[in-house]
Amino acid sequence: MADITCTHCNLTFPEEVMIAEQQNDEPLFFCCKGCQGVYHLLNSEGLDTFYDKLGDTKLQPAIQNNEDLEKFDLEGFKNKYITTHQDGLSEINLIIEGIHCSACVWLNEKVLHKTDGVIETSINYTNNKAKIIWDPEIIKLSHIIQTIRSIGYNAYPYDPKLQEERAISTRKTYYSRILVAVFGSMNIMWLAVAHYAGYFGGIQQSFKDILNVAEFVLATPVLFYSGWIFFRGAYYGYKNNIVNMDTLVASGALSAYIYSIYAMISQRGEVYFDSVVMIITFVLVGKYLEVLSKKHAVDTLDGLMGSTPTEVTTFKDGVKSLVSIENIVVGDIIELKPGEKVVIDGEVTWGQGSFDESSLTGENEPVYKKNNDTILSGSICLDSVVHYSATKDASNSMLTSIVNLLEDSITKKPRIEQLANSVSGYFSTIILIIALLTFAGWFFWVESFEQALIVGISVIVIACPCALGLATPMATLVGISVAAKRGILFKEASFLETMAKSDILALDKTGTI
């Protein structure tokens, strides 16, 4: 039997498992009940334009598994992952699994915005991280997760450890592609030296053919393996009517590659395989450095939390026990020993001692604390055993607030980066238009297709906006990361840009801005 394409997920499946129906005299085919349910849900919500945005992109079948939903409403889960605002609203960061393109982001945001009780939803396409704010009096988190699953995706709480695994996988992918690109560029430049020498001093066609074939062999894996990242980015940009930097890199390198094959076979003109390899190598290295800088910035966040204990000693009914900080509730009595870091804000109930608060206030001298004094998470007990009562839970303590502050500053783009992204898009479109006009002008002027093609390709290759697309976000991320290591926290990345333009910086005696 023939394979059928699912109306929802675009995957092919055997005809014998097909679920068929008709809508407005048009046949609909589904591979499972999940896809059928999602399709009708989107139509009933007026979100059927999702399929126009999706195009030919394939999704995972909408297999729904709601057996574990109750865990999202447990108190321990709430203490670990959910932040409660002063107005009673709840906030969580989730990773949405199954997002393949901007159409997926659009669909998830639209569906959640239409859900009663969901106040705000924003999804970052680059890392699939979703920030969701909702009213727990109207809707439970388990219902939000169920809604996400009902449209064919899955969601789980953002966990730095899982993101670390993903970052390592990304680095490995880039590393292997860079190795191939660097190997190809190093060897092809040796061949290019011989090529250029022959160009000026003369070379037999048979030797030239050997050099051309050797360069072709080196350039092919660099273009299609190392450069696959750019082709993928250009493809998704094309599907969403976006011309980006990947479009310039992919179109310039591929055009030069195709022309070089023509020149090699016809033995007319010069080949540009070396240019293909160098384009891919330089831009790929730039992207890899951007990945490293993002990882470095995230490591700063992990460093703030890494030295923090995950368990504390509590007193309950005269019994000592180790309890995970996520399970601490307001009023619990916690024991603090010399050298330990305070992980939850509280009030001293027994004992007295000195605390190092330099990481919080900038005060170099230890601060003496006694009964009924407030101690903040992030400070360090220096010289004696102290008991204190928790006045906040882990998600609302000072240290967590600082980490969230730094995370927001890393994820929020400053105005200069937003401008760079916007200019890069317009710039790429304009360059492609100029390249086409240049090709047409040279073709009618010199009446040489080859010469016109070379000049047109040169415009694309030379104009790649790497400084705008790569250097700007990298400089911002590194700046925030270095500042955090030196005890300077920016609430938003835009403040880094503002300070660069300032003439006067006013500080109080503790160094707090």
Question: Looking at the domain assignment, is residue 80 inside a domain?
Answer: yes
Distance CA 181, CA 428 (A): 24
pLDDT (average), residues 78-98:
84
Q: Tell me the β-bridge partners of 96.
A: 155
Note whether 20 and 129 are same-domain residues.
no
pLDDT (average), residues 157-165:
69
Q: Which of 362, 396, 430 is the last residue of a domain?
A: 396
Evaluate if residue 56 carries a pLDDT over 60: no
Query: How far is residue 210 from each of residues 27, 103, 196, 204, measured CA to CA in Å?
Result: 57, 47, 14, 10
Question: Looking at the domain assignment, is residue 51 inside a domain?
Answer: no
343-347, 414-418, 431-435: which has the minimum mean pLDDT?
Answer: 414-418
Cβ pair 27, 20 in contact under 8 A: yes
Structure confidence at residue 261 (pLDDT): 92
Evaluate if residue 1 carries a pLDDT over 60: no
Distance CA 509, CA 513 (A): 10
5's tokens: 């394409």
193-197, 359-363, 445-449: which has the minimum mean pLDDT?
Answer: 359-363
Question: pLDDT tens digit string along 345-377?
Answer: 899 998 888 888 876 766 677 888 888 888 888
Question: pLDDT tens digit string along 199-208?
Answer: 777 778 888 8
445 compared with 220, residue with greater pLDDT: 220
Note whether 154 and 176 are same-domain residues.
no
Cβ pair 415, 500 in contact under 8 A: no
177 compared with 502, residue with greater pLDDT: 177
Q: For 413-430, give the DSSP string.
A: PPHHHHHHHHHHHHHHHH
Evaluate if residue 232 carries a pLDDT over 90: no
Question: Looking at the domain assignment, is residue 445 inside a domain?
Answer: yes
Q: What is the CA radius of gyration of the chain?
A: 29
503 compared with 72, residue with greater pLDDT: 72
Note whether 289 and 184 are same-domain residues.
yes
Note whether 188 and 288 are same-domain residues.
yes
Q: Provide the CATH number for the domain around residue 355.
A: 2.70.150.10
58 compared with 27, residue with greater pLDDT: 27
35-49, 65-79, 360-374, 382-396: which has the minimum mean pLDDT?
Answer: 35-49
Question: Looking at the domain assignment, is residue 505 inside a domain?
Answer: no
221 compared with 193, residue with greater pLDDT: 221
Structure confidence at residue 3 (pLDDT): 66
Note whether 213 and 240 are same-domain residues.
yes
pLDDT (average), residues 155-180:
78
Q: Specify the pTM.
A: 0.56
Question: Looking at the domain assignment, is residue 63 inside a domain?
Answer: no
Length of the chain: 513
14's tokens: 């055997």
Cβ pair 9, 51 in contact under 8 A: no
Helix (H) or strand (E) holding 492: none
Cβ pair 227, 284 in contact under 8 A: yes
Q: How confident is the model at residue 82 (pLDDT cuts 50, 70, 90)?
A: confident
Q: Which of 142, 158, 174 is the last residue of a domain?
A: 158
Question: Looking at the domain assignment, is residue 508 inside a domain?
Answer: no
Evaluate if residue 216 carries a pLDDT over 90: yes
Ramachandran sector of residue 111 (left: φ over 0; alpha: ψ -120 to 50; beta: rest): alpha
Structure confidence at residue 494 (pLDDT): 63
Query: How far is residue 145 from each of residues 47, 59, 153, 414, measured CA to CA in Å?
Result: 19, 18, 9, 31
Structure confidence at residue 18 (pLDDT): 65
Evaluate if residue 290 carries a pLDDT over 70: no
Q: Which of 128, 158, 188 is the last residue of a domain?
A: 158
Query: How many Cβ atoms are within 10 Å of 193's Cβ, its own excluded?
Result: 11
Note whether 100 and 184 are same-domain residues.
no
Structure confidence at residue 101 (pLDDT): 56
Q: How confident is the model at residue 513 (pLDDT cuts 50, 70, 90)?
A: low
pLDDT (average), residues 233-256:
76
CB under 8 A, 24+ apart: contacts of 318-325: 324/76, 325/394
Evaluate if residue 81 carries a pLDDT over 70: yes
Mean pLDDT of the chain: 77
Structure confidence at residue 326 (pLDDT): 73
Annotated catalytic residue, options 25, 317, 503, 508: 508
Note whether 182 and 287 are same-domain residues.
yes
Q: Provide the CATH number for the domain around residue 111.
A: 3.30.70.100
pLDDT (average), residues 218-233:
90
Query: How far is residue 478 from each of residues 289, 299, 411, 472, measured CA to CA in Å?
Result: 11, 11, 13, 10
Q: Which of 34-43, 50-59, 323-332 has the highest mean pLDDT?
A: 323-332
Question: Looking at the domain assignment, is residue 103 inside a domain?
Answer: yes
Evaluate if residue 98 carries a pLDDT over 80: no
pLDDT (average), residues 135-157:
86
- Contacting residues for 473 by C-beta, under 8 A, at least 6 apart: 290, 413, 417, 420
Cβ pair 216, 305 in contact under 8 A: no
pLDDT (average), residues 13-36:
69
Note whether 182 and 81 are same-domain residues.
no
Q: Which of 119-123, 222-226, 394-398 has the highest mean pLDDT?
A: 222-226
Q: For 273-303, give the DSSP string.
A: HHHHHHHHHHHHHHHHHHHHHHHHHHHHHHH
245 compared with 301, residue with greater pLDDT: 245
Structure confidence at residue 219 (pLDDT): 94
Question: Looking at the domain assignment, is residue 254 inside a domain?
Answer: yes
Evaluate if residue 251 carries a pLDDT over 80: yes
Domain count, the chain: 4
Note whether 274 and 298 are same-domain residues.
yes
Evaluate if residue 177 carries a pLDDT over 60: yes
Note whether 206 and 271 are same-domain residues.
yes
508 is catalytic: yes
Note whether 223 and 353 are same-domain residues.
no
Per residue, the 3-state secondary structure of 57-71, as one string, reads CCCCCCCCCCCCHHH
pLDDT (average), residues 284-303:
67
Range of the domain at 339: 311-396
Question: pLDDT tens digit string along 8-20?
Answer: 676 676 666 567 7
* Percentage of the chain exceeding pLDDT 70: 68
Note whether 258 and 338 are same-domain residues.
no
- Contacting residues for 60 by C-beta, under 8 A, at least 6 apart: 9, 98, 152
375 compared with 404, residue with greater pLDDT: 375
